[in-house]
Structure 1
Amino acid sequence: MADPTNGKHVYIVHGYGATPANHWFRWLQERLAADGITADILEMPAPLSPNLQEWLKHLSSKAAVLNQDTYFVAHSLGCVSLLKYLLNAKPQEPLGGLVLVSGFTKPLPDLPMLDEFTKEQTDYSGAAALAPRRAVIASRDDDIVPAALSKELAQVIHADFYEVEHGGHFLDSDGFTTLPIAYDVLRDMIVQTNE
């Protein structure tokens, strides 16, 4: 049987205020590397004062190859940025899969500085056609992105929804330097693609 990991490429997109060194991103990259899967953590520009156009431009330059072997894992602000990028990029073929952690597409009351990313009314339902496999992971006790917003995103893009009881915002300050559920969901997508 063919190796399901062969030629797969995963892009990890961090969120507001984060860097590739934060949270569970390096751990996920190393887990995937152990499986023979290339994973790049994209260093988004000016994460403490993010600009939508700069983030879209960065995604366009760093994740330009979009095909069935391309997978994305995004966290928080990275999710809405990724969806906007993909809807604009209009890939020629469906992607391998999308895993969105603590994703949102509506304004966050406590973070008005991020409104630029959500103020434009975008029809995100088109994201369902971008990748046959889509998942949203949320935590019930997330005090930054309410789980209801992540659940709504999952419904709009017809994604599998995984809700954990105690995850906070899945930050290293919440104790999350690993995120096995994200690895497991992504790994299942990669294996299913080859069945």
Structure 2
Amino acid sequence: MERRAIIFHGTGANPDICWYPWLAGRLAARGYAVEVPHYPGINVEPIATFLPKMLNGHRFDEDTVLVGHSGGAALLLALLQHVDVTVAQAILVAGYCTPPNTKEEPVLQQGYDWATIRSHVRDIYFINSRKDPYGCDDRQGRVMFERLGGTQVVRDDGHFGDYNQPYERFELLDRLIP
């Protein structure tokens, strides 16, 4: 089986910023087929219309690793609820499942089927910061961890990459993905 990794960028971002290219290169060097798609519609288009297009644009199987950052991490919750297979691993970086601030969050569903999400991923990680400027903080990670289990990692690293926070490497992610 071919190991596959898909890295989903955050709201208003693109595949060429932060640690996305670095992680893609590290995983490719280890034999992963890596996708870092550009989805300008993440957290802009309502999840109900965005999700089917995204699900149809990728292949998911038991060897797939999913990594999402910010809005891309929130997207993973809907993806895991609606995908028809159990993926190997999901890592939600600065993820959230409820509105983290006062902005619109079209990437969020009204509610989540936590048992279905859990049944569609073998190994799940939540990496959040106590000092996230957007509210995608350790409390958000804790809410997801309490519903899904897995592993929660709490740091003091802001948003793990942002327009004003260079974050070109993310060694922890490289170590978490087998």
1:149 to 130, 140, 150: 140
Measured after TM superposition, the shift of residue 156 of structure 1 is: 1.2
Matched, 1:135 2:125: yes
Secondary structure of 1:97's match? Answer: strand
Structure 1 length-normalised TM:
0.82
Instruction: Please tell me whether the aligned partners of residues 105 and 153 of structure 1 are also in contact (alpha carbons under 8 angstroms).
Output: yes
Selected match of 2:68 from 67, 71, 74: 74
Give the alignment's TM-score, normalised by structure 2: 0.89
Over the matched positions of the two proteins, sequence identity in percent amounts to 22
Offset of residue 119 of structure 1? 5.3
Q: Is the alpha carbon distance of 1:184 and 1:59 closer, same or farther for their aligned partners in structure 2, counting shifts above 3 Å?
A: same
Give the structure with higher Rg (CA).
Answer: 1
Q: State whether residues 127 and 153 of structure 2, in contact with CA within 8 Å, keep that contact through their aligned partners in structure 1.
A: yes
Instruction: Please identify, of 53-62 and 178-187, the stretch whose mean Cα deviation from structure 2 is larger.
Output: 53-62
Find 1:52's aligned residue among 40, 47, 52. Answer: 47
1:55–1:81 CA contact under 8 A, matched in 2: no
Question: Structure 1 residue 122: deviation in Å?
Answer: 1.7
How many equivalent pairs are there?
A: 176
* Ranges of 4+ aligned residues in structure 1 off by more than 3 Å: 45-51
Give the CA RMSD over aligned residues. 1.9
**Alpha carbons 2:74, 2:92 under 8 Å: kept:** no
Unaligned runs of 5+ in 2: none
**Residue aligned with 2:157, SS:** coil
Match of 1:161 among 143, 152, 157: 152
Give secondary structure in 2 for the equivalent of 1:132. strand
Structure 2 SS opposite 1:42: coil
Secondary structure, in 3 states, of the residue corresponding to 2:118? helix
Q: State yes or no: 1:13 paired with 2:8.
A: yes
Q: Decide whether the 8 Å contact of 2:91 with 2:125 is kept in 1.
A: yes
The reply to whether residue 110 of structure 1 matches residue 105 of structure 2 is no
Q: CA deviation at 1:79?
A: 1.8
- CA deviations on 1:62-81 (whole Å, 9 max, x unpaired) are 22x22211110011111222
Say which structure is richer in helix.
1
- Matched residue, 1:191: none
